[in-house]
């Protein structure tokens, strides 16, 4: 039986790398998609802040904590609506947002 198990294991080992390669490729695609979303969210956050006439230095300092906090979609309206909630949950961030 041990010879049979050795032969069987040899065939099983040949099949495993293919499935692992497919899983690794799928994970890479998910990571790339999330990276693109964060970059898009950052651009939209900058756009919203520029439209609100917030100084560039101020909103650049607030962008990192905002990106860590924000978990929504890359939508300008959603980002704009979430800024007050972000400022309430992060009192250390100084962002002069009207209406909060």
DSSP symbols for 21-89? HHHHHHHHHHHHHHHHHHHHHHHHHHHHHHHTT--HHHHHHHHHHHHHH--S-S-HHHHHHHHHHHHHH
- From first to last of the 100 residues of the chain, give the pLDDT tens digit: 688 877 778 777 665 555 556 665 656 555 555 555 889 999 999 999 999 999 999 888 899 999 999 998 899 999 999 999 999 999 998 888 887 7
Query: How high is the pLDDT of residue 31?
Result: 54
């Amino acid at each position: 039986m041990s010879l049979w198990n050795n032969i069987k294991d040899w065939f099983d080992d040949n099949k495993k790398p293919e499935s692992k390669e497919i899983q690794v490729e799928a994970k890479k695609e998910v990571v790339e998609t999330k990276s693109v979303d964060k970059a898009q969210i950052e651009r939209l956050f900058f756009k919203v802040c520029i439209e609100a006439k917030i100084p560039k230095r101020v909103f650049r300092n607030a962008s990192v904590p905002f990106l860590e906090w924000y978990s929504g979609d890359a939508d300008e309206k959603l980002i704009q609506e979430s800024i007050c909630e972000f400022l309430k949950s992060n009192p250390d961030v100084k962002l002069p947002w009207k209406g909060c």
